[in-house]
Amino acid sequence: MPKVRSATLAAILLVLLAPQASAKGATCEAPAGLDAARVTAHLESSKGLQEELCVLVVRPAVDRAPELVIVALHGLFAGPEQWLTSSALIEQVDRLTERGALPPTAIVAPEGKAGYWTDWSDQRHPWGAWVVREVAGELLPRYGLALEPSRVALVGLSMGGFGALSLGLRHPETFGLLGALSPTDMELATDAQPKRKTYTNVFGKPVDKKRIRALNPRRLVASGKGKEQLVLVAWGDREPKKFSSGARKLRKALRRAGVASGFREVKGGTHSFAKTWGPETTQWMLDRFAEHLASSAEREP
């Protein structure tokens, strides 16, 4: 009988300690090699999308409550681990925190599949609402990470860069800091590939040009968005036009509108971590966030 009990207990422990998995069998676990005491994986049920999605959470290295939260959106054909394993984001945050340049910082990286972080035209795939209403509105408070907007950054790369800017500019009540690495200019992208399934999934078939313009970051800036935020954009000068030319158009719009902003154009940069989105660009973005936070603190009465 004791042997049976031991076997039963062992089986229960195996179930409890195993990576969480959705009904379709996709695992949700912290990337190998990261500090398991700080990096946790949460399989969350999205009410809007009616599916389970993985959210990775990185707690501050110091034993203090977070004073800054970075919500990091991944690119197309990637997953929530992208920012944690490929961009040196954790290492850069820890280094700046140790120096006192950044306050204790948490990172939240949700899964977005190929949804382009945008509510689809079919009204059945609210990938934008997943970030704004569910991740920021419900999960951050549950994780103990609810902060005022000036202390919440929304960042992304490529597809995630478009999402970070398109969502962030429309929701200054939630995100005060925005960072985009090689954000897709959706007008240029759909002009060049109007029948690409990635785009028709989001914007309909044929693609809804009016809606694309309404959600494109440079159009949002031209309409007056971003006045109360910091917007950072980085890109490589050798990237496809939907990224490089689009980023330059966005830079022009931000400067014309007088939005607090910063830019980094990487010479010889391609659409990759190796050439454009590596540690130097990540540090540039975090340094600008740190400077902005310090400047804001000095202005407080």
CA distance linking residue 93 with residue 99, whole number of Å? 10
Phi-psi region of 25 (alpha: psi -120 to 50; beta: other; left: phi over 0): left
Q: What pTM was computed for the model?
A: 0.91
What's the total number of domains in the chain? 1
33-62: buried (b, 16+ CB within 10 Å) or exposed (e) per residue?
ebeeebbebbbbebeebebbbbbbbbbbbe
CA distance linking residue 117 with residue 96, whole number of Å? 29
Could you tell me if residue 19 is inside a domain?
Answer: no
Could you tell me if residue 201 is inside a domain?
Answer: yes
Convert the pLDDT of each residue in 147-206 to its tens digit: 999 999 999 999 999 999 999 999 999 999 999 999 999 999 999 999 999 999 999 999
Could you tell me if residue 141 is inside a domain?
Answer: yes
Could you tell me if residue 191 is inside a domain?
Answer: yes
**pLDDT score, position 7:** 43
82: containing domain: 24-299
Could you tell me if residue 163 is inside a domain?
Answer: yes
Could you tell me if residue 9 is inside a domain?
Answer: no
| Lowest-pLDDT choice from 85-89, 190-194, 253-257, 264-268 | 85-89
Could you tell me if residue 11 is inside a domain?
Answer: no
Convert the pLDDT of each residue in 95-113 to its tens digit: 999 999 999 999 999 999 9
Q: Domain holding 286: CATH number?
A: 3.40.50.1820
Could you tell me if residue 189 is inside a domain?
Answer: yes
